Structure 1
Amino acid sequence: MDQLATLHQANGRYALRFERFFSYKPEEVFRVITDPHSFSQWYPFATGEMDLKLGGEIAFDDGEGTTYEGIITELKEPYTFEFREVDDLIRISLQEEGKGCQLVFIHIFDDKEMAMYTAAGWHRCLGVFKQIVNGQPVEWKDNSVELRELYREAFDRNR
């Protein structure tokens, strides 16, 4: 199983931090991150509509009648992709490491009570992202309950 996220607090907000290693160069992983079709396969509610530029919009649809847009707040190819989704901030960065790269995924949000649910969800999403990067078919694992429990225990230990 992939490494669990860590939970941090800063300025009255919370940040989930995930790290994943890929045996590909940042350019290759960045292409998957920013490709609208790939993005819509692993990122929740993404529609595949993305204006890939600083200040560009990303369209989301929750499937229950609510649509909204994210705004790209930082874009430095092939190392940083950051955007604001409602009040949350998502930052995805890549650093060269050996013959591959380290991905750091950070989600900044307000509601600590949602941390274990949010972490479990992102853990699953990043699992699918890894499948896409590795050219594997997308398969969503049915492990939400197990992951929520793992994160609840991990976050309770770190109080």
Structure 2
Amino acid sequence: MDRDTFRPGPLARVELTPENELVFVRELRHPPEKVWTALTDPDQLAGWAPFLTDRDLGRTGDAVLSTVDGDQSYPAPARVLRADRPHLLEYTWGDDRLRWELTANGDGTTLTLRHRVGGPDLAAMTAAGWHLCLDVAARLLDGDPVGPIRGAEAKDFGWAELRDAYAERLDRD
């Protein structure tokens, strides 16, 4: 599939906890070890994540994650708090805290992202962004990369519709 025909897949399982933690669950067709590499290796992250990293995220310690929007890059401090290969990756990114849990599910992986957001009004926007990023990551893992979809460009790939759909889903919970 080429980038011009890329469209987001079905909505993920999602909920927002009272602590403003967005819980986003996706099923991937690849084993945890392969998913782990996509979450930690700078070259793989560059192919799907909303940021670029200055180092491998598979070990604890300080890092810099730079949000990318077109030709602009916005570095933010990060700290990898836990890196239990290939099951748990937890780090801060600016004021946010992300926890990636990988659970083997047959030949695939259940990926659970817990992303503490600044408030409930940010949950649907955050879910829409991760939805697109993880759809792109799934393509990368499948060997059919479409390239990263970041920043304002996400609007060309259904971000607003995803945001509205996640807002509706989160309001029902």
TM-score by length of 2: 0.79
Mapping for residues 1-159 of structure 1, pairs under 5 Å: 1-10=9-18, 13-44=19-50, 46-52=51-57, 53-63=59-69, 64=72, 66-138=74-146, 140=149, 142-158=157-173
SS of match in other structure, 1:6 = strand
Q: Which has the higher contact order (CA 8 A, sep 6+)?
A: 2
| Contact persistence 2:13–2:26 (CA under 8 A) | no
- C-alpha distance in structure 2 between counterparts of 1:48 and 1:89, whole Å: 16
The worse-fitting range, judged by mean Cα deviation, of 15-24 and 118-127 is 15-24
* Cα 1:28/1:4, change in 2 over 3 Å: closer
Contact 1:60 1:70 (C-alpha < 8 Å) held by counterparts: no
Kept in 1, the 8 Å contact 2:36–2:86? The answer is: yes
Shift of 1:61: 4.1
Identity %: 28
The AA in structure 2 aligned to 1:50 is R
Contact between 1:5 and 1:16, CA under 8 Å: does it hold in 2?
Answer: no
Q: Which amino acid aligns with 1:20?
A: R
Aligned length: 155
Report the CA distance shift for 1:152/1:130 in structure 2 as closer, same or farther (over 3 A): same
Q: Check the 8 A contact 1:17/1:104 in 2, yes or no.
A: yes
Task: Judge conservation of contact 1:49–1:58 (CA < 8 Å) in 2.
Answer: yes
Unpaired runs of at least 5, structure 1: none
Tell me how far apart the structure 2 counterparts of residues 65 and 131 of structure 1 sit (CA, whole Å).
24
Alpha-carbon distance, 1:128 to partner:
0.7
**Who is 2:3 aligned against?**
none
User: Secondary structure, in 3 states, of the residue corresponding to 2:61?
Assistant: coil
* TM-fit CA distance, 1:62: 4.5
The one-letter code of the counterpart of 1:146 is E
After superposition, the CA RMSD in angstroms is: 2.0
Counterpart CA distance in 1 for 2:84 and 2:95 is 22
Q: Residues of 1 paired with 2:66 and 2:74: CA distance?
A: 8
